[in-house]
Structure 1
Amino acid sequence: MTRPLLAAACLLATAPVFAQASGDPARDPTRTEVWKPVPASVATPLGGAPSDAIVLFDGKDVSAWESEQGGRVPWRVDDGAMTVVPGSKGIRTRQRFCDMQLHVEWRSPSATAGFEGQDRGNSGIFLQELYELQVLDSYNNPTYANGQAGSIYKQAMPLVNASRGPGQWQVYDIIWKAPRFSQGGGLTSPARITVLHNGVLVQDDTVLAGRTEYIGAPSYAPHDCAPISLQEHDSAVSYRNIWVREL
């Protein structure tokens, strides 16, 4: 290295020291350091719920749930799973939620003979009882794209089809931002949802146009926090390892 280049390098290396020594606040790295508040520590055991989560179903206890009409849960509980009894009713949490992180594992029936489209492994996860994230066996099972697994039913198709085969456990990780309404009942902020299906992003901060409708366009009506509901749709879909973190 030539003497002029060596001298320039030395000046650059010592410039911050000189700047701090001369009291130049623009060159002080501590100006951009934030120390408080300190984020709370959350334990994240492998395969388990975070330490600050509300466990809604641990494979045995259904006390966090009730029938959608009130009363005991009408579904079967065995082998660490809660399974829909076709012809019964859906279920909902006793607790109400708004913004949340929700983890749900689900499994469609392994027997598929005679079932196709919306008749194969159909259920649904309703956020605030009004907005449905579709549960369906969408492995080699053609149906309308905004009605397959990972869709916001009749509103937003998934970015990709990340479905596993029938009879295999699948995972939804959901970030839900509840809609906001003014005191007069007007919509000030629509609902938004992000969903990972088996670890793959399928809804990316999707903005909802309103509540889920089977017929007609979605729309909003003012409401408060509400339960999480699991749908009974004539198929023996199973659920396990359900937990939620309020945001």
Structure 2
Amino acid sequence: MSIRLSHLLSLTLLVSVTLPLAAQQTKPKPEDTEVWEPVPQVVTPGATCGAPPSDAIILFDGKNLDEWVSAQDHTPAQWTVADGIVTVSKSAGNIETKRKFKDYQLHVEWKIPENITGSGQARGNSGVFLASMGPGDAGYELQVLDSYNNKTYVNGQAGSLYKQAIPLVNANRKPGEWQSYDVVWTAPTFNADGSLKTPAYATVFFNGVLVENHFELKGQTLYIGKPFYKAYDSAPIKLQAHGDHSEPISFRNIWVRELP
């Protein structure tokens, strides 16, 4: 056997031995993609569907309005509390939380009276303002309305982010039945000069049905005109008394979880 042939056979043998070893060394393992820290905080879910979890801030538990003030002048809220629910008082105006929030998960239940009258926007009109900007500004409104069998503009029906986001479906229950909103709110952020850094997003489940899927808002939800952003840091959550268009709408079981 020539020296050249012997060298070639030795090289072939070396390659045949090292290739399986290299394959074994580079083969991925389950442990390569396992992450063990940081360990998520333990949160105990509510005992029943809609009940607040262990880390929730209770905004209304049926007993009092200690967490709320008048949105106009920050005096104690004067809506009517009875039988575990709070009912809109037109004369008392809007109410908002004493606390201010940025990003959060919100649960709120509401009911349109069974004997509701009127039509369109004059049929049980209220709103959950995901960020209340004060008496002179519109804020960011999730519409409350009887839309069970009531025709109106679709970006103003229940489940809409008012005048911006049309609900994906109409998930309304009949007047007289309790309804629920579950919201994930990502607040807008702003640069030092007040210009927009990142927009607001909202995801909304209406009676357990997805109606707004991480919708990007274009600014505050105006009644007239195009939406725009105005810089803020954190803001209260507001419930609306819609003046002459309001019926005695009721709310219960309101809680919020602040998100990191």
Please, what TM-score do these two structures have when normalized by structure 2? 0.84
2:234 match? 225
2:78 match? 74
2:52 match? 49
1:245 matched to 2:246? The reply is: no
1:148 match? 157
Kept in 1: contact 2:111–2:175 (CA 8 A): yes
AA partner of residue 200 (structure 1): V
Aligned counterparts of 1:35 and 1:216: Cα–Cα separation in 2: 50
Query: 1:1-247 counterparts in 2 under 5 A?
Result: 24-44=25-45, 45-47=47-49, 48-68=51-71, 69-113=73-117, 115-129=118-132, 130-233=139-242, 234-247=246-259
Kept in 1: contact 2:116–2:247 (CA 8 A): no
**Any idea what the Cα deviations from partners look like across 1:136-156, whole Å, max 9, x if unmatched?**
011100000000000010111
Moved over 2 A (4+): 19-23, 25-28
Aligned counterparts of 1:128 and 1:26: Cα–Cα separation in 2: 51
What SS is found at the alignment partner of 1:46?
A: coil
2:4 match? none
Q: CA offset at residue 86 of structure 1?
A: 2.3
Q: CA offset at residue 26 of structure 1?
A: 3.6
- The gaps in structure 1 that reach 5 residues or longer are 1-18
What SS is found at the alignment partner of 1:30?
A: helix
What SS is found at the alignment partner of 1:118?
A: helix
Aligned counterparts of 1:112 and 1:30: Cα–Cα separation in 2: 60
**Any idea what the Cα deviations from partners look like across 1:87-107, whole Å, max 9, x if unmatched?**
321100000001000000000
**Any idea what the Cα deviations from partners look like across 1:45-64, whole Å, max 9, x if unmatched?**
21420001101000113111
Please, what TM-score do these two structures have when normalized by structure 1? 0.89
What SS is found at the alignment partner of 1:139?
A: coil
Q: 1:31 to 1:86 in 2, by over 3 A?
A: same
- RMSD of the alignment, in Å? 1.6
AA partner of residue 48 (structure 2): L
Q: CA offset at residue 22 of structure 1?
A: 8.1
What SS is found at the alignment partner of 1:24?
A: helix
Sequence identity, in percent? 54
What SS is found at the alignment partner of 1:185?
A: coil
Q: CA offset at residue 194 of structure 1?
A: 0.3
AA partner of residue 98 (structure 2): R
Question: Which of the pair has more CA radius of gyration?
Answer: 2
